[in-house]
Amino acid sequence: MKEIWKNKKARAGLIFAAFVIIISLVVVVMELTDKGTKVEVAKVEKNDVEQRYDTTGVMSSVAAEKYYAYVGMVPKEVKVKPGDVVCKGDILATFDTSVLNEVISEKKSAYNEALKSYNNAVANKNDTQAQADELDAQIKTLEDKIAELESQPKPEENTTKEIEMPDFSTMTEEELKAYIDNATSEFDPTVLKDSSASLEVELMLLRAQRALVLTGSTDSLINMYKQSVDSKKAEYDAVIKEKADYANGLVAKQDGKVTDVFIKEGVPYTLVEDKNASGDLQGLLSGMTGNEAGFDISSLISGLTASENGVDRGLAITIDYYEGYNIAFTLGKYDLETVKVGMPATITYLDYEYDGEVSYISATAQSSTNIVSSIMGSETQSTSSVEAKVNIKNPDEKLILGFDAKVSILVAKKNHVLTIPVEALVINDEKMYVYIIEEGKAALKEIEVGVSSDKYYEVTKGLTEGDEVILNSSKIHEGDKVYA
């Protein structure tokens, strides 16, 4: 052996052989001891899963109540100001109601006149000309009143449009009856009060009644006189009650928040325009003839109530009722597959949470156009969405209309179902996978999932309870050596 070691060639060969053996031993040891990459795993277990649709929207109210005051009426007490929270039954303001004495007197006179005309019609049932003369006298009185009102100065923009009267002489008896029946059933003179609009409508009815008299239908006319008596009596009674109500005070009809106050203690009320109310008298009158045009006559008349077209009362206080508080937002076409009316929701405003429910989803999509800038310039993109609303069930004074709020809608819920953490899911070519450990290596396993939350996916196929899945596997590839 010494002789071999003395030989340089032999000595080099032995050293090389020993080096190879050592390297081989190191590699074997490393292979035996290297487990691969350490990974975090989680067990497949059962949990409750709530799937939610999260978005933001703007708070608004669809239940506003408007309270009116007569011009010249003096508020004795005004108990609210904008921003105040009121409860159902709270008194908002009380008034000196002496200004209504003249209105009551006028209503009483109108009732007496209607009663007189009815009695005359009954007495002259068989005297067509006498009835026509009576109607002519009433028509003349109304025309004089209207002329007097129209002679009073008014703002140019509020000038009433000239009315084109129907040609009653061309109508048959049946058409006249239908016209008057439709008008009297829809028309509520108590709404228009003493405005020229009210007188115009009454004038139209009188002219129609006169035309009907000339057809010889006296029974129908007497019945209409009776309707007029009942209407005038209702007006008279309503104003008496109204005077008492104003004296006792305007009362909040529901819980809510005061948004506008247009009255001041000790200061006679002056007319305030209700910008959301509008009425077209021409449309109202033309709509009475059979209502073929589809006019909602009651709504049109109500629209005239707070306008400045000769009406003697206007807006005093506005309250947004809590029952109408909602959050408005938009949904894309794919969101409609999951979000439905009636689904429960949670509304978050600042640090406060409120219960809610999806109350409305529009049946019509609206398009919007966005200009998108790019390297090559600008291009136009069009998107479509539908309006939706969530009603707030427990609103309070902390909510401010017009501000944004977060909305979380519960679209699905599963209790005690098999789940994996969201960090375990791998999506590839629209298929769902997880990584599991098989014989020390990462292996992809295809699964099927159901509902999901921000923490879990429901597993409907591919795994069993107790299986382990790899979390946060973005740096892992199939076949990699791994250990937990």
- pLDDT (mean) for 33-60: 88
pLDDT band at 75 (very low <50, low <70, confident <90, very high): very high
More confident residue, 320 or 11: 320
User: What local confidence, expressed as pLDDT, does residue 369 receive?
Assistant: 59
pLDDT band at 31 (very low <50, low <70, confident <90, very high): low
User: What local confidence, expressed as pLDDT, does residue 106 receive?
Assistant: 87
pLDDT over threshold 60, residue 255: yes
pLDDT tens profile 368-399: 655 544 445 555 566 788 999 999 988 888 88
pLDDT over threshold 80, residue 236: yes
Sequence spans of domains, the chain = 2-33, 91-251+271-311
% of the chain residues with pLDDT over 70: 70
pLDDT over threshold 50, residue 284: no
More confident residue, 446 or 294: 446
Q: Rank 46-50, 103-107, 165-169, 309-313 by mean pLDDT and report only the highest.
A: 46-50
User: What local confidence, expressed as pLDDT, does residue 292 receive?
Assistant: 39
pLDDT tens profile 107-158: 899 899 889 888 877 776 666 677 777 778 888 887 888 787 777 765 444 4
Give the lowest-confidence range in 308-312, 423-427, 436-440. Answer: 308-312
- pLDDT (mean) for 282-286: 44
pLDDT tens profile 177-205: 676 666 655 555 444 444 566 677 777 77
SS (H, E, C) the chain: CHHHHHCHHHHHHHHHHHHHHHHHHHHHHHHHHCCCEECCEEECEEEEEEEEEEEEEEEEECCEEEEEEECCCEEEEECCCCCCEECCCCEEEEEECCCHHHHHHHHHHHHHHHHHHHHHHHHCCCCHHHHHHHHHHHHHHHHHHHHHHHHCCCCHHHCCCCCCCCCHHHCCHHHHHHHHHHHHHHCCHHHHCCCHHHHHHHHHHHHHHHHHHCCCCHHHHHHHHHHHHHHHHHHHHHHHHHHHHHHHCEECCCCEEEEEECCCCCCCCCCCCCCCCCCCHHHHHHHCCCCCCCCCHHHHHHHHHCCCCCCCEEEEEEEEEHHHEEEEEEECCCHHHCCCCCCEEEEEECCEEEEEEEEEECCCCEEEEEEEEECCEEEEEEEEEEEEEEEECCCCCCCCCCCEEEEEEEEEEEEEEEEEEHHHCEEECCEEEEEEEECCEEEEEEEEEEEECCCEEEEEECCCCCCEEECCCCCCCCCCEEEC
User: What local confidence, expressed as pLDDT, does residue 176 receive?
Assistant: 67
pLDDT band at 416 (very low <50, low <70, confident <90, very high): very high
